[in-house]
Structure 1
Amino acid sequence: MSTYSIKDLEQLSGIKAHTLRIWEQRYNLLNPKRTDTNIRFYDDNDLKLILNVALLNDNGYKISKIASMNQEEMRAEVMKLTDRTLTHDDQIHALTICMIEMDEERFDKVLSTNILKLGFEQTMMNIVYPFMSKIGVLWQTGAINPAHEHFISNLVRQKLIVAIDGQVVSSEGKKFLLFLPEGELHEISLLFASYLIKSKGNKVIYLGQNTPNEDLLAVYKIHQPDFMLTVITTSPSSENAQDYLNLLAKRFSETQILVTGYQVIGQDLVMPSNVKLMNYIRDIKELLDEVNLVSEEK
């Protein structure tokens, strides 16, 4: 079972720590435990509770009414809300609850309902991708158990692979080589980029996780892609990212290299002339629109 500080609860629920303390004192909503050194902490049950409270409160339920509900009543009201509401923040809350409870069936229902209402791309852009980015950061800081992140990542990965397989590639499209650096295993952003690229009719050579440098070079020589794209979430570290980008730029000097990820966004890095930083997944979408526009004009 994971443990959380009140700041972790604030990050995951969006409710200020000060407000949580007031609710804890006034309504006995939470039951913090204490370490041997008398430091307060919260467990998975506390997190699930406060996520449900946040969702209900955001949708107009008074905190006094929420505090009077038992666990089953609260869960039933949350289920009703997530079945009918299209608010992105509400759906992200619902996915977070599914993650903490390891509830695969409920997660699939929330995701499938949104895909039916919004479409796959909009669901990914506005709900799943922000959710995964948030969870990724929390996993890195130790705020959530790695098992939670792996559980959700595998479910999202399955959805993405099915969606990618359904895309049709155009013979007129550009060629993209997608890979993750050696030691990098966080694949969701790369898979979503693959979906976006193929949805625009472009061809994808997908190497995936933990690609050795020599293998990358061998595939590059065979396919001569127009673009290379990578996501650096954990490896290489931010301290080594500049050297890695310089190496990529030198080895693949004839190709436009697109990079994004936690270790490069917001860092004080100098981008070589053939390397372009993508701050968000929307940047990749905008670039694809530009590439398609140029192709159509030709």
Structure 2
Amino acid sequence: MSRYLIKDLENLSGIKAHTLRIWEQRYNLLCPKRTDTNIRYYDEADLKLILNVALLNEKGHKISKIASMTPECISEEVIKLTDRSLMHDDQIHSLTICMIEMDEEKFEKILTTNIIKLGFEQTMLHVIYPFLTKIGVLWQTGAINPAQEHFISNLVRQKLIVAIDGQVPSSDGKKFMLFLPEGELHEISLLFATYLIKSKGHKVIYLGQSTPKKDLDAVYELHAPEFLLTVVTSVPVGDQANNYVEKLARKFNEATLLVSGIQILDKEYTFSPNVHLLHNINDLKAQLESLEQVPIEK
């Protein structure tokens, strides 16, 4: 069972630690445990409770009234609220609860409902991406464990693959080769890029995670794509990331190289003219919209 410090509860719920202590003392809302060395901690039941309390409080419920409710009643009220709400933050809250509980059935239901209401692309842009950004920060701070992060990432990955399979490229579309650097495993952004590119009628040669340079050379020579797209999230780092991109730009100088990822963006690097930085998914959408429209085959 995971253990959380009050700072973790603050990061996950958005409620200041000072406020949490007041609620704890005044309303007996939380019951912290103690380690053998007398350090206070909270368990997953405490975390789930405070996430639900935070949402109800944000929606106008007085904390005194919430504190008088049982945890079961609080959960029921939150379910009613999120089922009828179209607010993106409410949906992200529900997904966070699913992550903590590792509840695949509930996660699937929330995603499916949002896709029906908003469409797949809008669900990705306004619900899934902000949610993944949130859990990425929480994972880095140690507020959630790797198993929870992998659980969610794999479920999102499954949804993306199904959505990609439903897109049929046009014979007139441009060719895009998508890949991640060797050692890079974070492919959610790459998969969503694949969906967007194919949804516009273009062709995707998907090489995926940790692609060796020799494979890039061989596939490029075989298919001669007009565009290459990669995301540098964790490796390579620093000047090595800069060097990696520049080597790609020179090697594949007849193609346009689309690059994103935190190891590249917001750095003071100077790249070759055929390198285009994608600061967010809207930059990729703009790039696609700048291309000649191709008929979508049914």
Return the TM-score normalized by structure 1: 0.92
The CA deviation string for residues 60-115 of structure 1, in whole angstroms up to 9 with x for no partner, is 22211211221211111111112110000010010010000000000001111111
Match of 1:291, SS? coil
Counterparts in 2 of 1:239 and 1:78: CA distance versus 1, 3 Å = farther
Q: Secondary structure at the match of 1:279?
A: coil
Matched, 1:251 2:214: no
Counterpart CA distance in 1 for 2:45 and 2:111 is: 23
Report 1:47-196 matches (<5 A).
47-196=47-196
Letter in 1 for 2:6: I
Q: CA deviation at 1:206?
A: 0.5
Letter in 2 for 1:134: K
Deviation at 1:274, TM superposition (A): 1.9
Equivalent residue for 1:282?
282
Contact 2:260 2:278 in 1 (8 A): yes
Unpaired runs of 5+ in structure 1? Answer: none
1:273 corresponds in structure 2 to 273
- Per the alignment, residue 25 of structure 1 pairs with 25
The change in CA–CA distance for 1:222 and 1:114 in structure 2 (over 3 A counts) is same
Cα distance change on mapping 1:237 and 1:81 into 2, 3 Å: same
3-state SS of paired residue (2:177): strand
What is the CA-CA distance between 1:24 and the residue it aligns to?
Answer: 2.3
Distance across 2 between alignment mates of 1:3 and 1:204: 43
Inter-CA distance 220–109: structure 2 relative to 1 (3 Å threshold): same
* CA distance 1:36–1:273, shift in 2 (3 Å): farther
In structure 2, the residue corresponding to 1:267 is in which secondary structure?
Answer: coil
Q: Which moved more, 1:245-254 or 1:149-158?
A: 245-254
User: In the TM superposition, what is the alpha-carbon distance from 1:230 to its structure 2 partner?
Assistant: 1.1
List runs of 5+ in structure 2 lacking aligned partners: none
Which residue identity does 1:244 align to in structure 2?
A: Y
Q: TM-score, normalised by structure 2?
A: 0.92
Q: CA deviation at 1:266?
A: 2.8
Name the structure 2 match of 1:220: 220
Residue in 2 that maps onto 1:2: 2
Q: Please, what is the CA RMSD of the aligned residues?
A: 1.9
For 2:138 and 2:267, the matched residues in 1 are separated by 19
Tell me, yes or no, if the aligned pair for 1:245 and 1:272 is still in contact at 8 Å.
no
Return the alpha-carbon distance in structure 2 between the equivalents of residues 190 and 270 of structure 1: 23
Distance (whole Å) between structure 2 residues aligned to residue 249 and residue 39 of structure 1? 53
Tell me which amino acid in the other structure corresponds to 2:45: N
| Shift in CA distance, 204/59, structure 1 to aligned 2, threshold 3 Å | same
Higher mean displacement: 212-221 or 267-276: 267-276
Task: Give a deviation string over 1:264-288, Cα, whole Å, max 9, x none.
Answer: 2333433332222211112211221
Contact persistence 2:12–2:143 (CA under 8 A): no
1:121 shift after superposition: 0.7
CA 181–201 in structure 1, closer or farther in 2 if over 3 Å, else same: same
Amino acid of the structure 2 residue aligned with 1:98: C
Deviations 1:188-234 (A, max 9, x none): 11111110111111111101111111111111111111111111222
Greater mean alpha carbon deviation, residues 216-225 or residues 29-38: 29-38
Per-residue deviation, 1:137:
2.9
Does the Cα contact within 8 Å between 1:238 and 1:267 map onto a contact in 2? no
Q: More deviation in 163-172 or 130-139?
A: 130-139
Q: Which moved more, 1:117-126 or 1:236-245?
A: 236-245
State the AA in 1 paired with 2:73. E
Measure the CA separation in 2 of the matches of 1:26 and 1:239. Answer: 53
- In structure 2, relative to structure 1, the CA distance for the partners of 1:269 and 1:15 (3 Å cut) is farther
Aligned length: 295
Q: Please say which of residues 231-240 and 49-58 is displaced more in the overlay.
A: 231-240
- SS of aligned partner of 2:291: helix
Within 2, Cα distance between the matches of 1:203 and 1:151? 30
